[in-house]
Amino acid sequence: MKGLAFAFVLSAAVYLTIGMLWGITMGIQEDFTMAPAHAHLNLVGGVLMALFGLYYHAVPAAAATGLAKLHFGLATLGAWVFPTGIAIAQRGPHGVAIIGSFLVLAAMLAFLVMVLRDRA
Ligand code: HEM
């Protein structure tokens, strides 16, 4: 695996490692306040990035497009900003979480266009 597919799968492995360590830390401290942020880092940063990486591995032509690079940029921003925003929102303002949610949505829309474009 190489290129964009590798970048997606490597990102997923890094975010899942961080997310799991975060989960273990929550368990040790017996403080589960950050469970929603942990969950979204694992799901948006881990599961979704891995799924995207496997798609680009299966469809190399799609990985070569500018839209795929935009998709990676949006997905990476979303994977950082959304869980961070959810963590802030546990005790503070919701603005960062809202921005993060729209970044994640924008990444998914880029992927939707990619999949539809790739149909032929
Ligand atoms: C070493 C691996 C992991 C550990 C130690 C861990 C630990 C935890 C802990 C302690 C909680 C809070 C439970 C509670 O509130 O009673 C939690 C919640 C959760 N975790 Fe993990 N987790 C791990 C991996 C994952 C992965 C890989 C995913 C998803 C792909 C995930 C998704 C979730 C979800 C959805 C919740 C519920 C969040 C909520 O209630 O708001 N976790 N986890």
Tell me the H-state helices in 30-94.
Answer: 35-40, 49-58, 60-63, 66-89
Domains held by the chain: number: 1
Q: Average pLDDT, stretch 13-25?
A: 98
DSSP assignment string, 45-56: IIIIHHHHHHHH
- Take atom 8 of ligand 1 and give the residue whose Cα is closest: 23
Average pLDDT over the chain, rounded to an integer: 97
Torsion angles phi and psi, residue 75, rounded to 5: -65, -40
Angle, helices 49-58 vs 95-117, to 10°: value is: 20
pLDDT at 120 > cutoff 60: no
Domain extent at residue 23:
3-117
Q: What's the gap in Å between 42 CA and the centre of ligand 1?
A: 8
Task: Tell me the residue length of the chain.
Answer: 120
Q: 24: pLDDT confidence band, cut at 50, 70 and 90?
A: very high
Residue range 41-62, pLDDT digits in tens = 999 999 999 999 999 999 999 9
pLDDT at residue 1, rounded to an integer: 87
Mutate to test the pocket of ligand 1, among 32, 34, 42, 82 (most ligand atoms within 8 A of CB): 42
- Take atom 36 of ligand 1 and give the residue whose Cα is closest: 39
| CB of 18 closer than 6 angstroms to any ligand 1 atom | no
